[in-house]
Each structure stands twice: as C-alpha cells, then as structure tokens.
Amino acid sequence: MTELLTPADIPYAAELLRAGKLVAFGTETVYGLGADAANPQAVAAIFEAKGRPHFNPLICHYASVEDVFAHVTAPGVAMVLAARFWPGPLTLVLPRRPGCPVAQLAGAGLATLAVRIPSHPIALALIEAAQSPVAAPSANRSGRISPTTAAHVRSQLGGRIAAILDSGPCRVGVESTVLDLSGPSPVLLRPGGISVEALESAIGPIGRQIVPQEAEASRTLRSPGLLLSHYAPLLPLRMNATATEPDEALLAFGPAPPAVLSFQLSVSENLAEAASRLFEGLHWLDANAPAKNLRWIAAMPIPAMGLGLAINDRLARAAAPRA
Ligand code: TXA
Ligand code: MG
C-alpha cells in the first residue's frame, strides 16, 4: 500500500524517511523518490523500486547551503553559483569531504556527490523535518518519463513505495541542470531548468560533455544517467516534425499542422511554458494515442536556446533507439 499524503502530513512523511522508508515528493522540477541519504538500505531500496539496472549516482537534496558544504568541498565558483541559483533547479557535482555521512551507494561509489537545494517549499520543509539530506532520483520507473504530478508517480510506483506527498504540479517541469565542478573547469553534464546562458553569465564559459551517438560509448560517460534512451515515452518519437503521418500523434509547439490527436506545449512558443508541460504532454499522448490507433509521436521543432536546450535533450533521448 502506498499512502497518499498532503502537505499537512510533512512531519509524518519525515518520520517515514527517518525510518528508512521511501517517500515521493514534489520539487520545482519533477517529483523525486526520496530516501534518507545516510541510510544505505533505504538508498538501495530506491534502485529496487525504480527497477534501475545500474547503480547510477543519485542527487542529494539539502535545505541549506551550510548543510551542503559540510558534505562536499566548495570551490569559489560553487559559492558563486549557490548564492545566485539556490534554492533552484541547479545540481552541482563536487568532491565529497572526508567523513561525509551520505551512503556510498547514493554516489555510486564515486569520489564526488551531486547536490542541490530545491526551491519547492514542500520539498524544503520535508528535508528540514527529516534532519538529513534526502537522496532522490526522479520518481519514475527506470527508463520512463519523469513525473510532474502525484498521479504520474502513483501510476508508475504505486504499491512499491511507502508514500507519495502530493505537492501539486511541478512548476519547471524538466529536471535540474547538472554541472560538474569536480574537475579543472566546469562541465555541463545535463541541460535542465537553469539555462546554460544564465550559468555562463555568472561564471563564464562552460564546457559541454559530448553525448555519444552509440550505446556502446555510454559506458565511458562521466554521468551514467546520460544514457541515450533514458527519458522514454511508451510510444516511439520522432523530432522536428512539421507534419503528421496518419499513425502519428502530435506534440505541438506554436501554430500546428492538422493531427488526429495533439498536445500543445505552448501556443505562444514560450520555452518555459513548454518545459513545464513537456512530460505532462508525453504522458498524455502515451495514454490517449492507442485508442485512436496512433503508434508514433511526432514532435515539432523547438529552438535550442534557453530552456529549449533541455527540452531538445529530453526529446532526443525519447527518440533514441531503445535498448
Ligand atoms: O530535477 C532533478 O534533478 C530531479 C529532482 C528530483 O531533483 N532529480 C533527478 O535525478 O533528475 P536523477 O537521478 O533522475 O538524475 C540525476 C543525474 C543523473 O544523470 C546522474 O547520472 C547524475 O545526475 N549524477 C548524480 N551524481 C553524479 C556524480 N557524482 N557524478 C556525475 N553525475 C552524477
Ligand atoms: Mg531521472
């Protein structure tokens, strides 16, 4: 049985976390599947509930900058970014400090840890009440679309986790930007809710990790979660569509061609609105296309700037060949 909790139940949800149970909760980006990051059994249960084939490292969520930098080292550039973008959808990868109590499994045994302070008030209240960092990947089954509502979480993980804390729909709608600060210069590992332009205006040029086109190359990736086919709807997807075939549903962005079934991301071509509706749209098309005998999703072109970089990244993963 998975309990459905409301914000009034935050103290109880925190008690569940302290008891080593899994609690899904909303953040400003997507819903996370939370466990006490310092409890190795609880962290292991996250991988089990998600059906994650590998021990991908998880993001540790904190409620204050002091708590973060007690666990990881803080180069100057991290301080600048923390002051400017936390709480918010930015994850920093930094070297663990000696004695850091976060379970090794949460960082997949790496010498670094991914850390962030979410800006959602319910997430912050939960982490504070738990009195421990909360390890949380997106609260979806492995390889599926990230959830942006409590209902999405229940349909994927209902029965597998202790509770879902309904925190309303997620405002940003795509995952956090992941930036590696553990090397000599900053490297973007995953585009996300904070645009690269915004980061570069704070700290100057950022290196890009090249995402290899072949699954074979995924073994060498620095961030295992960057496997190509990672954010997949059930239906296959093609990008940059300007018209639909008879067996296609449309993921529209702005003025759209005719389609049997379509989901509009933003009629005014607003990238923030489109990001916030992206996973909602993929879930909705997955749920409604089969009844109309549609077998594909055709996604319209989206400019690769600002949040459009993260949207195109998620669409490219959804379009990638399935393993
Ligand atoms: O918005 C988000 O980031 C959401 C919410 C719940 O906070 N979380 C999320 O977690 O998207 P997840 O596990 O789905 O993605 C975490 C990403 C993965 O690509 C993982 O490989 C990378 O962060 N990552 C985590 N720790 C890392 C590390 N030590 N070094 C490099 N990459 C790391
Ligand atoms: Mg994920």
Buried b (16+ CB within 10 A) or exposed e, 174-188: bbbbbbbbbeeebbb
Ligand 2: distance of its center to the CA of 178 in Å?
A: 12
| pLDDT the model gives residue 223 | 52
Average pLDDT on 178-193 reads 96
pLDDT given at position 80: 98
Domain residue ranges in the chain: 3-218, 237-319
What would the mean pLDDT of 128-134 be, rounded to a whole number?
98
Contacts of 276 by beta carbon, 8 Å cutoff, 6+ apart: 148, 170, 171, 172, 173
CATH number of 3-218: 3.90.870.10
Radius of gyration of the chain (CA): 19
Lowest-confidence segment of 61-65, 279-283, 289-293, 297-301 by average pLDDT:
279-283
- Averaged over 284-306, what is the pLDDT? 95
Q: Closest residue (by CA) to atom 17 of ligand 1?
A: 225
Closest CA to 93 of 105, 76, 107: 107
**CA dist., res. 36 & res. 255, Å (int):** 46
Tokens of 114: 């991914």
Angle at 175 between CA 272 and CA 16, to 5 degrees: 130
pTM, entire model: 0.86
**CA 137 to centroid of ligand 2, rounded, Å:** 6
Q: How far is the CA of 253 from the centre of ligand 1 (A)?
A: 27
Question: Where residue 276 falls among pLDDT bands split at 50, 70, 90?
Answer: confident
Q: Residue 216: its pLDDT value, please?
A: 40
Q: Would you place residue 208 in the very low, low, confident or very high pLDDT band (cuts 50, 70, 90)?
A: confident
pLDDT in tens, 220-265: 444 544 545 555 677 899 999 999 999 999 999 999 999 999 999 9
CA distance 21 to 14: 9
